[in-house]
Amino acid sequence: MLETISTRQSAGISFSEFKSLPPEELTQRIASVRERLGPSLVILGHHYQRDEVIAFADARGDSYKLSQYAAENRDCRAIVFCGVHFMAETADILANDPERVSSRGCRATVVLPDLAAGCSMADMAALEQVEECWQELTETLGPDPATPVTYINSAASIKAFCGIHGGVVCTSANARGALEWAFARKNRVLFLPDQHLGRNTGLQMGIPLDEMPVWDPNQPLGGNDPDALRRARIILWRGHCSVHQIFRPEHVHYFREKYPGIRIIVHPECTMEVVSLADEVGSTSKIIRTVAASPPGTRWAIGTELHLVNRLKHEHPDKEIFFLSPVVCMCSTMFRIDLPHLCWALENLAAGTPVNVIEVEPETAQLARVALRRMLEIQS
């Protein structure tokens, strides 16, 4: 049985004393640890992080870019990941490739400042459920029933499952390339765990909806009849992102009516109804690039996490930018990384008592790395 993860806790400086420190003191203490640790430390930050946290990132990016950064890291001994759990796991797997460890002379320590920063979508596919699904598909369709493709928003054990079964990991930036890669090997894909990214990408490739059944892990045969599975090109795991689900077609209609000519751009984790009404769809990096490249005066309504949309508003005062929903909704787990947690994690690291160390069990890491390396070979 593959282990997902292990976390190392040492009896370091306790968190409680950091909770009530004023932001100015936290900022100054974080800056001082960074200076002390120099290039042996790198802080990675996902675009959904709070402004005061992302300000400390040595590199900020989408899931693809941050994975690349971890994979290319030769010298640094510690990565503090301001993002969510699956991102830190991925950084550990890629930064601690045996070749890198031997050239560096040690493992890189990967720290997630708050262990409660998970991803609810990643939690929607447990390894036991995926193995059960695979067993049922094998009984119905024969051996090697599909190529498994997992969105990076998944546990290390699911990535390892893809590594074992000739599959690949993808991000929202290269999902189409990953599906093309998978179809070049076999005519059917099991796409985990985000049904929306899988469906939106499949539709973009001209695959009809009735060839993309949904697999509900709580029902026999995923709630499908055997014929539907035989016809399937992409079997979509029934997972979703609760943040991106809040965007609805009526929000697009509202903005189009109120501001004729407005451009709508959304993340592919949104439903197909929303994606089909948008002008553009793409990863967080594509959203940032597209808005930045648009002429002054352009109006945008953006369907992705609130912190990124607010940052874009601030960075582009020459454009009019709206959040594509009247309901203010942010990724509450990304939000858990705050200055007290960052400062606590860094000071413990500097004191030699690292806390919240993310270390994927070696066998799982090795298998997951196979599928992650394939992902990095597919252009974003």
Residue 158 within binding range of ligand SF4, rule CB under 6 A: no
Residue span 137-156 as binding mask against ligand SF4, x where in contact by CB under 6 A, dash where not: ----------------x---
Spell out the SS3 assignment of the chain: CCCCCEEECCCCCCCHHHHCCCHHHHHHHHHHHHHHHHHHEEEEEECCCCHHHHCCCCEEECHHHHHHHHHHCCCCCEEEEECCHHHHHHHHHHHCCHHHHHHHCCCCEEECCCCCCCCCCHHHCCHHHHHHHHHHHHHHHCCCCCEEEEECCCCHHHHHHHHHCCCEEECCCCHHHHHHHHHCCCCCEEEECEHHHHHHHHHHCCCCHHHCCEECCCCHHHHCCHHHHHHCCEEEECECCCCHHHCCHHHHHHHHHHCCCCEEEECCCCCHHHHHHCCEECCHHHHHHHHHHCCCCCEEEEECCHHHHHHHHHHCCCCEEEECCCCCCCCCCHHHCCHHHHHHHHHHHHCCCCCCEEECCHHHHHHHHHHHHHHHHCCC
Question: Of ligand SF4, ligand 13P, none, which one does residue 26 interact with (CB within 5 to 8 Å by kind)?
Answer: none
Residue span 325-344 as binding mask against ligand SF4, x where in contact by CB under 6 A, dash where not: ------x-xx----------
Binds ligand 13P (CB under 6 A): choice among 4, 63, 147, 150? 63
Residue 169 within binding range of ligand SF4, rule CB under 6 A: no
Residue 241 within binding range of ligand SF4, rule CB under 6 A: yes
Interacting positions 98-157 with ligand 13P (CB under 6 A): 153
Residue 348 within binding range of ligand 13P, rule CB under 6 A: no
C-beta closer to ligand 13P: residue 41 or 173? 173
Interacting positions 70-109 with ligand SF4 (CB under 6 A): 84
C-beta closer to ligand SF4: residue 33 or 236? 236
Question: Of ligand SF4, ligand 13P, none, which one does residue 62 interact with (CB within 5 to 8 Å by kind)?
Answer: ligand 13P
Residue 4 within binding range of ligand 13P, rule CB under 6 A: no
Contact (Cβ atoms closer than 8 angstroms) between residue 73 and residue 48: no
Question: Of ligand SF4, ligand 13P, none, which one does residue 290 interact with (CB within 5 to 8 Å by kind)?
Answer: none
Interacting positions 229-258 with ligand 13P (CB under 6 A): 241
Question: Of ligand SF4, ligand 13P, none, which one does residue 63 interact with (CB within 5 to 8 Å by kind)?
Answer: ligand 13P
The minimum distance between CB 117 and ligand 13P, in angstroms, equals: 12
Residue 305 within binding range of ligand SF4, rule CB under 6 A: yes
Question: Of ligand SF4, ligand 13P, none, which one does residue 283 interact with (CB within 5 to 8 Å by kind)?
Answer: ligand 13P
Interacting positions 8-47 with ligand 13P (CB under 6 A): 47
The minimum distance between CB 24 and ligand SF4, in angstroms, equals: 29
Q: How many chain residues bind ligand 13P (CB under 6 A)?
A: 11
Interface segment toward ligand SF4; rule CB under 6 A; list 119-127, 213-221, 231-239, 361-369: 119-127
Residue 172 within binding range of ligand 13P, rule CB under 6 A: yes
**Which residue ranges make up the site for ligand SF4 (CB under 6 A)?**
84, 119-121, 153, 241, 243, 269, 305, 331, 333-334
